[in-house]
Amino acid sequence: MDTELTPAFNDFKAELVDMLTKWKTDHDQLLRSWKADQDAILSKLVSDVSELKQQCLLNQTTNSEIERSMNFINNQHEDIISKVSKLEKERSENSEYICRLQKQIQDLHFQSRQATIELRNVPIKENENVQDLTSVLITVGNALGVDIPLSAFRDIYRIPGKPGLSRPIVAEFCSVSTRNDFLAKARTYNKKRPIPDKFNTQTIGIAGERKPVYIDEHLPPTVKKLLYETRQFAKTHNFSTWYSNGRILLRKDPADKPIQIKSEKCLTKLVGQQ
């Protein structure tokens, strides 16, 4: 019986060995294939990680450069702000200094013109001379009830300008009191009369069309401009305005304290308050 089983067992054994050998071969091949796939995946992963590291390093470098650039820009910005602040301060100081100079100039102009008046709209006489102008002033004084001797005048002239235009006559008196009396009489004269009868060319015997003659203080151009702008403001906002002793004054109601207008800034400030 043992003799009969031995060939069969050997065959089974051989078959089992073949089966195991084949399984091992297949398994080894499968493992090699899987390992190859894993190696490829790992290699790609290592490559990707390496690439990411390079990108990270590049980004870090770029970020550092950006940070340096931002720091530089911030420093520049702060420097510019500092310079602008300094310039604004200097501009403000210069503006205040200019205003003080303008005020000093206005004061000097006022002092130099304290005894002067200005007649506007008086026709120019042909070949006009100082004697003609003096005669006009004396005639105006007589019409106003002011006795003015020749010795009362220090200088009389017309303001230079384009030919053919009725340029203002400027008269400088020897005393401020005479000038003030002259202006006061002129204002009283006009205040008592309606517009058509206010001081005019016919009042002083000048033939031709009747034209108004304006008698005022002789003001510097800058003061004239400011006075004009103040009058425009007063007209728009229902204020009263007048000029007295070198000052432009303004007020809303008769009971209000007058506001002195020293510059255009004063008007701008008042406009903002309306």
Whether residue 227 is contained in a domain is answered as: yes
Q: Would you give the distance in Å from CA 233 to the centre of its chain?
A: 20
Model pTM greater than 0.75? no
Answer yes or no: do 231 and 255 share one domain: yes
Answer yes or no: do 134 and 157 share one domain: yes
Answer yes or no: do 170 and 205 share one domain: yes
pLDDT of the residue at 200: 95
pLDDT of the residue at 137: 94
Q: Cα(63)–Cα(57) distance, rounded to whole angstroms?
A: 10
Phi and psi, residue 147, nearest 5°: -85, 115
Range of the domain at 263: 220-274
Q: Cα(11)–Cα(17) distance, rounded to whole angstroms?
A: 10
What six digits make up the tokens of 210? Answer: 């009747």
Mean pLDDT in order along the chain per 10 residues (274 residues):
64 78 82 84 84 82 84 88 91 86 75 86 91 94 91 92 86 92 93 92 92 91 89 92 86 90 86 76
Answer yes or no: do 99 and 193 share one domain: no
Spatial contact of 249 and 242, defined as CB atoms under 8 Å apart? yes
**Residue where the block lists tokens 């690439």:** 51
pLDDT of the residue at 7: 74
pLDDT of the residue at 68: 87
Alpha carbon distances (Å) from 85 to 80, 148, 255, 265: 8, 60, 43, 22
pLDDT of the residue at 213: 95
Whether residue 49 is contained in a domain is answered as: no
pLDDT of the residue at 39: 82
Answer yes or no: do 205 and 232 share one domain: no
pLDDT of the residue at 190: 94
